[in-house]
Amino acid sequence: MTLKSISNLCILMAMLLAFAHPVFAQNSSVVQQRLFKNVNVFDGKSEMLAMGQKILVEGNPVKDLLLLMGKDKSPVIMKDGKTTRTHCEKTETVDLSRRRTMMRFTSIICVLILSSILLLGVSTIGLAQNTPGYNNKIPDSIMTPDTVETVIGTLKFFDGMPDAATVQKAYDNLDFMRGVEVFLNFIPATSIEGMRLGMAEVGAIKSNQCVIFDKLMDSDPLFLTGNTDTVYASVMLDLKRDGATVIEIPPKTGPGTVNDAFFRFITDMGIPGPDKGKGGKYVILPPDYDGELNPPEGGMEAEMEIAGKKQKVFVSKSASYTNWLILRGFLVDGKTDMAVNTFKGGLKVYPLSQANNPQKMEFLSGSNKAFNTIHANTFAFYEELAHVLDKEPVGLIDPELRGLAAAIGIQKGKKFEPDARMKKILTEAIAVGNATARAIWLKPRDKSAYFYENSGWYTGFVGGDYRWLIDDGKGGRYLDARTLFFYSATVNTPAMAEKMVGAGSQYAFNATDKDGNYLDGSKTYKLNIPKDAPAKDFWSVVVYDPQTRSELQTSQKFPSKNNKRDKLIVNKDGSVDLYFGPKAPKGKKSNWVETVPGKGWFVLLRLYGPLEPWFDKTWRPGEFELVK
C-alpha cells in the first residue's frame, strides 16, 4: 500500500469518527427526535425519560417535544423550532439553526486536525522504512547482496558492482554454459559431418559413389544404431559442387530418405515416399536455387527438362549443400541378393547438368569393414562443427543458433582458434555436455517418452514430431527430445515418427530390466515377444554398445534376432522368448544374443510396416527379466 493510499484511508477514518460522535452527528438528534416524539402525562405533569435523567415540565401536557443532550450533558427541550436548555434552575433559549451551523464547523475542524495527526504518523513510519541510501523503500527482489554463495563459488559485489574475481567467474561460467549448449544443440550437424567423414574413409567422396552393405551391416563399422536387417545404400550429395542433383530410384525400394546438413527432413523415397515403391526420379535443388520452382517440405511433383526431355519428377529443395541419401532394401528369403541387385541395377545419382552423360555409379561395400561415422565427444566436436558452418550457407540455421556458436568462436568465414583458457573451458564443457546427452538418452525424465507405465520401453521420437516441435510449435522446439534422438540414431523422417499403418517403421529403445537396472553383459536375461507381433514386413531386436551406440561387438557377426531371417524357437502360445547373456542357455542357442561381461548394452525393437495393435497398445513386448 502506498503512502498516498494510507493518508486517504486516514482521512476517511477521521471523517467517520467525527460524524459518529454524538456532539457532531446530526443523525443522532434525529434519532432522539423520533424516540421522544410523544410525551406522557402523570399527575398533571409531562414526564419523559432520556439518557437516564427525568425532565419535568409544569402545566398542561405538551406535544411534539424533542429531547437533546448538550455538551455538559444537561437536558435540552425543543419546541416550535426553539430549544430550552435547563441547567440547575436557570432556563435559556437557543436558536437551533445556529447550533447546527456551529456543529458542522466544529466537525470539519476536528476532521482536519485528526487527519493531520494520522498523516504525520504514517509519514513518520514510511520514512523509517526507507532503504538506506534511497528516498523510498526499494524492493529486495531487485537488489543484489554484497555476497552471494553459488555453485561456481562466492560472488562479491560493491553496491551491485561485481569485483574482479566475480567478473572472471561469471565469464568463465558463461563460456562453459554456451559450450555445453553448443554440444547439445549441434549434434545433428556434426552427426551428418561424421557420416560424411566415415563415407570418405570407405572411398565414397562423389555423388556417384554409393556405400552399399551388400552383406548387411555387421558390428565392424561404427554407425549409430544401424540395423542388421536391411540392405543399406548410402550416398553423400554435394550440391555446392554439383548443383541440382538427380536421384533415380528403382522399383521395390524400401524406405528411403534425404536429410540436409542439420539432419532435417527433405523428402522420403521408396515405399513411404511419393513414388510409393514404384520407383521414380527425384531432383534435389541447392539452397541458392532461384528458379520458378518452390517445392514445400517433402517435395512436389513437377515437370523438368532432363537430358533434353520434359519429364515428371519429384522435386525438393535443401537448405544445405551437403545432404545424405539413405535407402533400405528388404531381404527376400533371408537373403540380400534381390535388394543388392535392385540397387546396383537401378540406382543412379548424378548432377542435373550432366544428365546427358552421367558418370557410371560405383558401389563400394561397407560390410565387414571397420570405419567410423560418429561425431566426436571431445574438443574435436567443435572443430567438426566449425567445418560444417564454414561450408554451408548462413541460412542453414537461424540467428539464435548462429549466435550461440559464435559466442564460443565458431562463425562462418572466421577461423576457429580458441586460446588456452577457452580451449580448457570448452574441453570441460564437452565432457558435461556428453554426460548430459547420455542422461537424456538413457534415462528420459519425460514420462511421455515411455510407451507403457512401469516399463523400460521408450520412443526415440519423444513428442511424436520429426521436427521436434511441441504442440506443432506452440511450445517451441523440444530440445531434449532432439538431443535424445540424434545422440543415439540417424535418419530423420515422418515415416519413423508418425502413425503410418502398414508403411514406414517404428522403434522402441530399452536399456533396463523390469526393475529399472541397466542391462549388464555379465548376466543373462529373457525377453518375451508375444504372438502376432504387429509388423507387416518383419520385426527385429538388435543389441548395441552404450559407448559407441553401434552394434555390440561379440563373436556373433550380427548381434540381433529377426523373425524373417532367423529360425527362432516359437512357444506353444505363439510367442518367442529371446535370451541375452555371455552364454546361451541350454537348448536356446537359436534364440540367443551374446553379450560381453563387464559391458552394458541396450536394444532397439524395430517393426517394419507397423500395424494398428502397436499404435493402440493392445500389443506390447515383454520386459527384460533376469534369468537366475
CA separation for the pair 466, 495 (Å, rounded): 9
Instruction: Supply the pLDDT for residue 42.
Output: 34
Instruction: Supply the pLDDT for residue 484.
Output: 98
- Residue 239's nearest CA partner among 301, 205, 284 is 284
Instruction: Supply the pLDDT for residue 56.
Output: 41
Over 50: is that where the pLDDT of 122 sits?
no
Mean pLDDT of 572-590: 97
pLDDT band at 526 (very low <50, low <70, confident <90, very high): very high
Instruction: Supply the pLDDT for residue 101.
Output: 52
Own/partner pairs, 590-596, CB within 8 angstroms, 24+ separation: 590/566, 591/561, 593/541, 593/543, 593/556, 593/559, 593/560, 593/561, 594/554, 594/555, 594/556, 594/559, 595/519, 595/521, 595/522, 595/543, 595/552, 595/554, 596/521, 596/552, 596/553, 596/554
Over 60: is that where the pLDDT of 436 sits?
yes
Q: Are strands 592-594 and 525-529 parallel, antiparallel or unpaired?
A: unpaired
Which regions of the chain carry the CATH code 2.60.120.600? 499-626
Distance in angstroms between the alpha carbons of the first and the last residue of the chain = 71
pLDDT band at 273 (very low <50, low <70, confident <90, very high): very high
pLDDT band at 5 (very low <50, low <70, confident <90, very high): low
Is the CB of residue 437 less than 8 Å from the CB of residue 422? no
CA separation for the pair 544, 550 (Å, rounded): 5
Instruction: Supply the pLDDT for residue 99.
Output: 47
Instruction: Supply the pLDDT for residue 21.
Output: 47
CA separation for the pair 57, 214 (Å, rounded): 131
- Residue 259's nearest CA partner among 298, 224, 204, 214 is 298
CA distances from 458 to 461, 531, 602 (A): 9, 21, 12
Residues 6+ apart with CB under 8 A from 100: 26
Q: What is the pLDDT of residues 262-271, one digit of tens each?
A: 999 999 999 9
3-class secondary structure per residue, 257-279: EEECCCCCEEEEECCCCCCCCCC
Mean pLDDT of 190-201: 98
Q: Which residues pair with 85 in a beta bridge?
A: 76, 92
Is the CB of residue 254 less than 8 Å from the CB of residue 326? no
Provide the sign of the torsion angle of the four alpha carbons 277, 280, 281, 283, taken in this order: negative
- Residue 365's nearest CA partner among 202, 556, 196, 255 is 202
- The larger pLDDT score, comparing residue 441 to residue 83, is at 441
Q: What is the DSSP letter of 333?
A: T
Burial readout 573-601 (b: 16 or more C-beta within 10 A, e: otherwise):
eeebbbbbbeebeeebeebbbbbbeebbb
Q: What average pLDDT does the structure give for the chain?
A: 86
Mean pLDDT of 251-257: 95
CA separation for the pair 271, 75 (Å, rounded): 110
Supply the DSSP string of 89-155, one letter for each residue: TEEEEEEHHHHHHHHHHHHHHHHHHHHHHHHHHHHHHHHHTSPTTSSSPPPGGG---SEEEETTEEE
pLDDT band at 129 (very low <50, low <70, confident <90, very high): confident
- The larger pLDDT score, comparing residue 505 to residue 512, is at 512
CA distances from 545 to 21, 248, 362, 508 (A): 90, 35, 31, 16
Over 70: is that where the pLDDT of 123 sits?
no
Please identify which residue in the block is written with the cell numbers 572472471: 168
Over 80: is that where the pLDDT of 11 sits?
no
Phi-psi region of 153 (alpha: psi -120 to 50; beta: other; left: phi over 0): left
Over 80: is that where the pLDDT of 199 sits?
yes
Is the CB of residue 367 less than 8 Å from the CB of residue 214? yes
Residues 6+ apart with CB under 8 A from 26: 100, 103
Which segment of 7-21, 390-404, 580-594 scores lowest on mean pLDDT?
7-21
Over 60: is that where the pLDDT of 86 sits?
no
Over 90: is that where the pLDDT of 36 sits?
no
Indicate the pTM of the whole model: 0.81
- The larger pLDDT score, comparing residue 69 to residue 6, is at 6
Instruction: Supply the pLDDT for residue 89.
Output: 37
Mean pLDDT of 102-122: 53
Is the CB of residue 433 less than 8 Å from the CB of residue 180? yes
Instruction: Supply the pLDDT for residue 277.
Output: 95
CA separation for the pair 477, 244 (Å, rounded): 30
Over 50: is that where the pLDDT of 149 sits?
yes
Burial class (CB in 10 A: 0-12, 13-18, 19+), 481: buried
Residue 250 neighbours by CB distance under 10 Å: 21
Mean pLDDT of 617-624: 98
pLDDT band at 60 (very low <50, low <70, confident <90, very high): very low
CA separation for the pair 129, 84 (Å, rounded): 55
pLDDT band at 87 (very low <50, low <70, confident <90, very high): very low
Over 50: is that where the pLDDT of 587 sits?
yes
CA distances from 388 to 205, 207, 265, 326, 375 (A): 16, 18, 18, 20, 12
Q: How many residues are there in the chain?
A: 628
Mean pLDDT of 528-532: 98
Percent of the chain with pLDDT over 90: 79
Instruction: Supply the pLDDT for residue 503.
Output: 86
Residues 6+ apart with CB under 8 A from 167: none
Is the CB of residue 546 less than 8 Å from the CB of residue 598? no
Instruction: Supply the pLDDT for residue 504.
Output: 82
Which regions of the chain carry the CATH code 2.60.40.1610? 202-365
Is the CB of residue 515 less than 8 Å from the CB of residue 504? no
CA separation for the pair 164, 483 (Å, rounded): 36
Over 60: is that where the pLDDT of 4 sits?
no
Is the CB of residue 552 less than 8 Å from the CB of residue 608? no
Which segment of 17-21, 44-48, 132-136 scores lowest on mean pLDDT?
44-48
Instruction: Supply the pLDDT for residue 72.
Output: 44
Q: What is the pLDDT of residues 229-244, one digit of tens each?
A: 999 999 999 999 999 9
Mean pLDDT of 349-361: 97
For 505, the 3-state DSSP assignment is strand
CATH of domain 202-365: 2.60.40.1610
Mean pLDDT of 272-289: 97
Q: Which residues pair with 542 in a beta bridge?
A: 560, 604
Over 50: is that where the pLDDT of 299 sits?
yes
pLDDT band at 64 (very low <50, low <70, confident <90, very high): very low
pLDDT band at 109 (very low <50, low <70, confident <90, very high): low
Over 80: is that where the pLDDT of 358 sits?
yes
User: H or E stretch including 47?
Assistant: strand 45-50
Q: Are strands 209-212 and 362-365 parallel, antiparallel or unpaired?
A: parallel
CATH of domain 499-626: 2.60.120.600
Instruction: Supply the pLDDT for residue 115.
Output: 54
pLDDT band at 611 (very low <50, low <70, confident <90, very high): very high
